Structure 1
Amino acid sequence: MINFAPFYYRPATCYLGLAIALVEEMGASSIESYRERIVAGPILSSMVRLGLPLMLTDIIFLVYNLTDAFWLSKFSSYALAVPRQNWPVFLTFFSILFGVSSGGLAMLSQYVGAKMYDKASESFSKFLTLCLSTSLALFLVYSLTKDFVFTCLVRVPPEILEDTLGYAEIMSFDLLAFGFAIAVNTLMHSLGDTKTPAIAMAMGMALNAVLDPLFILGYGPIPAMGARGAALATVLTRFLSAVMVLYFLFTRYRYIKVRLTKSLDSPWLKTVLGVGLPVSVMTLSDGFAFTFHLSLVNMFGAIVTTAFTIGFMILDIANSAFRGFTMSISVMVGQNLGAGNKERARKIALTASHILVLFVSCGAVVILLTRGHIISAFTSDYLTTLEADRLISIIAWILPSVMLSFLGMSVGRGSGHTIFPTMVNVIRFWAVRIGLGYVLAFALGMGVLGLWIALALSDVFGGLASYVWIRWGGWVRPIIKERPIVEVTLKTSSEGFRSSS
């Protein structure tokens, strides 16, 4: 096994050895502190402590997209639609990594909850190896198939086809960055540290805000690259953020050893795939559904395509404000199931659902009241403005249902039981959003309005089904083989140092 963690030689004096031991023991005590708050502390305060950084991360991700969209709108009338064309296809390729990360999150968080820290460290090494090898394979496949996908499957409008292909060419490297980033971020989240990845991403966003206007519009010797410039800025800053998270991992949590393994044992791989495969199927299905749905939208021309892009960017603002809290529930559910707190795990999920529905409903009202001002920031075209306004007016009211769907999947990822949320999402997208949407838009002649109505109905179905499962479903069972917690103690680095002397 190859150890990529920072290593040290036997010290020349006991002072250096003591310093190293103290630094590592601080990391160990941090893990214990995070765990105790999650499995025994107040639910709401733990939810806020974990959820705020994740909310910030989601908002930062949205800011990436909004920054790209803002500067692309200054470059060309329809250039801001380019990233949205690429996103469903990217989601299709990301589906495998999302599945792997779900299996890793469930296993790692439950090991931490059970105080099986040796197993958590071992599992992460395998998890990192799987993520890196998978992302490399996805990069190669995407690079070879992107021209066919955007030309023949997505059927990108001719006005933006060249920009879309150029954007996709550069963004293919983001698959490599994402595989690495999702591994280290998942470990941090499983430990209960959601702040460190948020800090790294915030610094990356600040750099992206500087690079975007330079690369998109050009400045001095830097040529105007349009959509290609937006992709280049995004890839560079995401690589930087991933490297920063790895640095924090090395310096703060030295107890967690980062290694690449030559092979993956069958029981571990079976458990990860058992959790992750339904998520991969769901995400892959979602990616194809988004792509197919986008092709239906594109059939109505560039005006509707641009309105669709603007409408979803605005709705993403409301989603991102609270979606981070749903992600925090995965960690809380996983650690509590690992610790044997089954009733507390369900209480956490229900508390989150009630609080989020209330706050997201308030956010939906704000979106409806201010939609005209926000739309005007992205377009001055009259017809595009009208269509974007109609879209938001129809679907803003179902934002609480969207949040419940996110929460259902978060509970599934933390518990390791992902089959039911996957089934809900497949029905939600294919049967309702696409199937019913096609009937309304084309068979019944309602046009694009039929697509918007079906979109809203699909999210209502997903939210209601997810809440029923959260309240009464049989997901409160851990996927790890438990050991008695009292027998498992965290071996401090000072003990490890003394034994090696």
Structure 2
Amino acid sequence: MSQPKQRQIDLVNEPIGSALVRLAVPIMASAFLATAYNITDMAWIGLLGANAVAAVGVAGMFTWLASAIVVMARMGGQVNMAQALGNRHPEQAETFARGALQLATVLAMVYAAVCLICADALVSILVPDDPSVAREAALYLRLCGGLILFLYISQTLTGLLTAQGDSKTPFKANAAGLIINMVLDPLLILGLGPVPQLGVLGAAIATVFAQFIVATLMIVGIVRDKGEANVLRRVRLRQPAGRACFSRIVKIGLPAAIQSALYAIISMVLTRMVAAWGSGAVAVQRVGGQIESLTWCTAEGVGSALNAFTAQNFGARRPERIRRGYRLAFIAVAVWALAVSALFIVFPEPISSVFFHEASVVDISSSYLVVIGIGEAFMCIELMTVGALSGLGRTKLCSAISVVLTGSRIPLALLLSATPLGLDGVWWALTLTSIVKGVVFWLVFRHIARRLPEAPAPAPASTGAVAGSSTTPDAESAPTAA
């Protein structure tokens, strides 16, 4: 009987360029598809006016915060699992995967309860002076936040599948979800035939249903993959992962989650500042982030691939592969980001007109794209480097740098917006800090990469070590500190 086709990529032994491309391309495509969910919603909701766009954008800030929280399970599970696989301990990798999924489920239940109970109070923080926008935003948040489990499971599984070198399964699942979302959006938002116009609620229903489909298809894909390299198929969620496992997951994942959550919170503060210029400015800020997906989706996709690549090669003690992989990724991402920057700077008005139909809002969006376009390459360098450093287990360092520099956006935005720049001062605060972060992260990675240990990987253990065993390299205590 023929062996089942293996979906996993050998990140330790396969040629570096081939391994990174094969792993990164489906991840980037998945990221584009995930962003396309939001862009599709915004494009259809834009037909209802700037207030509807602002409502979905405000609620989207809290779903962004939700995605930041689950980073603790996703990143902690992905890095530990990949390092265990690189160190040839599949039983330990399975334990980390189980623990990550159990943690994601608990986090989803807690976040859902908060959203269902406190939705009105949460959205009123960002739009206290616009009751109609706040009411629609709370409705969207209750549905998407209350059923956040589907998003949490799909995001955690995406990280775990990537850790074992399989990025095609998440891509296929996300592609199916996007198709469903694209069909349901006009049907539910605008109403067709016997289906009433549901507006913002319709967008929420379409998004949640698509997330349910994505999570289901990932699980089906894992079950159907009978290859030996598919560690996830052996995961038994009812079996406790153990305290040591959760400790290792939290140790790696918590700093990354704090970094992402604070980034979302800082963006909320900036949204509150932007609200002083009206709902059109809020809509531009939120939709502008989706337009930027042309660059950050690419960078995050490459960063996620680098995360698994560096983690497995760190576990296998292959530092030269890590350095070469980073150089190749850096060149590819920089070239792409510069091309998109040129697009934003040269054609801001045509791009803005796709999403907005009021002339005043198009003008705000055009200014946003020009200013933001200047810092796109540096933002991409930051995102891909965070992925590489996190794969080495250096999530605390990434969090410290990001929190300090991203936090500086608030005082800088206050300062610049008080000048004749006005609202554009907020956009310049984003760009200037992105430039600084890109340079700092690049310098930090170069410093750490030069000091990675060259020793060969230890021989595989005869039995699966428990999570936290000394057989898996502990990047936080390894001699790589800056």
TM-score normalised by length of structure 1: 0.86
Q: CA contact under 8 A between 1:72 and 1:226: conserved in structure 2?
A: yes
Report the equivalent of 2:480: none
Once the two structures are overlaid, the 10-residue window that deviates more, 371-380 or 324-333, is 371-380
2:281 to 291, 304, 325: 304
Q: Report the Cα distance in structure 2 between the residues aligned to 1:136 and 1:477, rounded to whole angstroms.
A: 39
Quote the offset at 1:185 in angstroms.
1.8
Q: 1:310 to 1:129 in 2, by over 3 A?
A: closer
Q: Does 1:271 align with 2:244?
A: no
Report the equivalent of 1:440: 416
Q: 1:264 to 1:450 in 2, by over 3 A?
A: same
Report the equivalent of 2:237: 260
Structure with the bigger percentage of helix: 1
Report the equivalent of 1:61: 34
Q: 1:461 to 1:437 in 2, by over 3 A?
A: same
Q: Does 1:236 align with 2:209?
A: yes
Q: Report the Cα distance in structure 1 between the residues aligned to 2:430 and 2:398, rounded to whole angstroms.
A: 18
Report the equivalent of 1:466: 441
Q: Does 1:380 align with 2:353?
A: no
Q: Which amino acid in 2 is paired with 1:69?
A: M
Q: Report the Cα distance in structure 1 between the residues aligned to 2:297 and 2:113, rounded to whole angstroms.
A: 31
Which aligned runs of 4 or more in structure 1 are off by greater than 4 angstroms? 474-478, 485-489
Q: Report the Cα distance in structure 2 between the residues aligned to 1:452 and 1:264, rounded to whole angstroms.
A: 45
Q: Which amino acid in 1 is paired with 2:436?
A: F
Report the equivalent of 1:288: 265
Quote the offset at 1:485 in angstroms.
4.3
Report the equivalent of 2:219: 246
Q: Report the Cα distance in structure 1 between the residues aligned to 2:121 and 2:450, rounded to whole angstroms.
A: 41
Q: CA contact under 8 A between 1:50 and 1:328: conserved in structure 2?
A: yes
* Per-residue Cα deviation, 1:266-324 (whole angstroms, up to 9, x for no partner): 32222111111111211121121011111011111123223323433322223224431
1:292 match: secondary structure: helix
Quote the offset at 1:475 in angstroms.
9.3
Report the equivalent of 1:26: 4
Q: CA contact under 8 A between 1:64 and 1:208: conserved in structure 2?
A: yes
Unaligned runs of 5+ in 1: 1-18, 490-501
Q: CA contact under 8 A between 1:398 and 1:456: conserved in structure 2?
A: yes
- Summarize the alignment of residues 387-426 of structure 1 with structure 2, pairs less than 5 Å apart: 387-426=364-403
1:473 match: secondary structure: helix
TM-score normalised by length of structure 2: 0.89
Report the equivalent of 1:198: 171
Q: Which amino acid in 2 is paired with 1:26?
A: P
1:26 match: secondary structure: coil
Q: Report the Cα distance in structure 1 between the residues aligned to 2:461 and 2:261, rounded to whole angstroms.
A: 41
Q: Does 1:177 align with 2:150?
A: yes
Q: 1:268 to 1:486 in 2, by over 3 A?
A: closer
Q: 1:310 to 1:134 in 2, by over 3 A?
A: closer
Once the two structures are overlaid, the 10-residue window that deviates more, 347-356 or 43-52, is 347-356
Quote the offset at 1:96 in angstroms.
2.6
- Summarize the alignment of residues 473-484 of structure 1 with structure 2, pairs less than 5 Å apart: 473=448, 483-484=458-459
* Per-residue Cα deviation, 1:220-260 (whole angstroms, up to 9, x for no partner): 22111101100100000110111011011011046531212
Quote the offset at 1:111 in angstroms.
1.5
- Summarize the alignment of residues 51-200 of structure 1 with structure 2, pairs less than 5 Å apart: 51-153=24-126, 155=128, 157-200=130-173
Q: Report the Cα distance in structure 2 between the residues aligned to 1:174 and 1:155, rounded to whole angstroms.
A: 25
Q: CA contact under 8 A between 1:401 and 1:463: conserved in structure 2?
A: yes
Aligned residues: 458
Q: CA contact under 8 A between 2:123 and 2:138: conserved in structure 1?
A: yes
Q: Report the Cα distance in structure 2 between the residues aligned to 1:30 and 1:394, rounded to whole angstroms.
A: 42
* Per-residue Cα deviation, 1:8-50 (whole angstroms, up to 9, x for no partner): xxxxxxxxxxx7xx6xx637x554xx22xx2122222211111
Q: Report the Cα distance in structure 2 between the residues aligned to 1:377 and 1:257, rounded to whole angstroms.
A: 46
Quote the offset at 1:181 in angstroms.
1.2
Q: Report the Cα distance in structure 1 between the residues aligned to 2:397 and 2:98, rounded to whole angstroms.
A: 29
Quote the offset at 1:123 in angstroms.
2.2
2:159 match: secondary structure: helix
Quote the offset at 1:476 in angstroms.
7.0
Q: CA contact under 8 A between 2:77 and 2:99: conserved in structure 1?
A: no
Report the equivalent of 1:15: none
Q: Report the Cα distance in structure 2 between the residues aligned to 1:356 and 1:77, rounded to whole angstroms.
A: 33
2:277 match: secondary structure: coil
Q: Report the Cα distance in structure 2 between the residues aligned to 1:453 and 1:472, rounded to whole angstroms.
A: 29
Q: CA contact under 8 A between 1:345 and 1:476: conserved in structure 2?
A: no
Q: Report the Cα distance in structure 1 between the residues aligned to 2:451 and 2:99, rounded to whole angstroms.
A: 26
Q: Report the Cα distance in structure 2 between the residues aligned to 1:101 and 1:463, rounded to whole angstroms.
A: 24
1:454 to 429, 433, 457: 429
Q: Which amino acid in 1 is paired with 2:316?
A: A
* Per-residue Cα deviation, 1:306-352 (whole angstroms, up to 9, x for no partner): 33234333222232244312221111111111111022212212321
Q: 1:192 to 1:172 in 2, by over 3 A?
A: same
Q: Report the Cα distance in structure 1 between the residues aligned to 2:26 and 2:275, rounded to whole angstroms.
A: 36
Q: Which amino acid in 1 is paired with 2:297?
A: S
Q: CA contact under 8 A between 1:112 and 1:120: conserved in structure 2?
A: yes
Q: Report the Cα distance in structure 1 between the residues aligned to 2:262 and 2:393, rounded to whole angstroms.
A: 19
Q: CA contact under 8 A between 2:73 and 2:101: conserved in structure 1?
A: no
Q: Once superposed, what is the RMSD of the aligned Cα atoms?
A: 2.3
Q: Which amino acid in 1 is paired with 2:84?
A: Y
Q: Report the Cα distance in structure 1 between the residues aligned to 2:101 and 2:359, rounded to whole angstroms.
A: 49
Unaligned runs of 5+ in 2: 465-482
Q: Which amino acid in 2 is paired with 1:455?
A: L
Q: 1:485 to 1:415 in 2, by over 3 A?
A: same
Q: Report the Cα distance in structure 2 between the residues aligned to 1:419 and 1:166, rounded to whole angstroms.
A: 36
Q: Report the Cα distance in structure 2 between the residues aligned to 1:154 and 1:286, rounded to whole angstroms.
A: 19
Q: Which amino acid in 2 is paired with 1:410?
A: G
Q: Report the Cα distance in structure 1 between the residues aligned to 2:288 and 2:126, rounded to whole angstroms.
A: 23
Once the two structures are overlaid, the 10-residue window that deviates more, 418-427 or 151-160, is 151-160
Q: CA contact under 8 A between 2:417 and 2:423: conserved in structure 1?
A: yes
Q: Report the Cα distance in structure 1 between the residues aligned to 2:275 and 2:324, rounded to whole angstroms.
A: 43
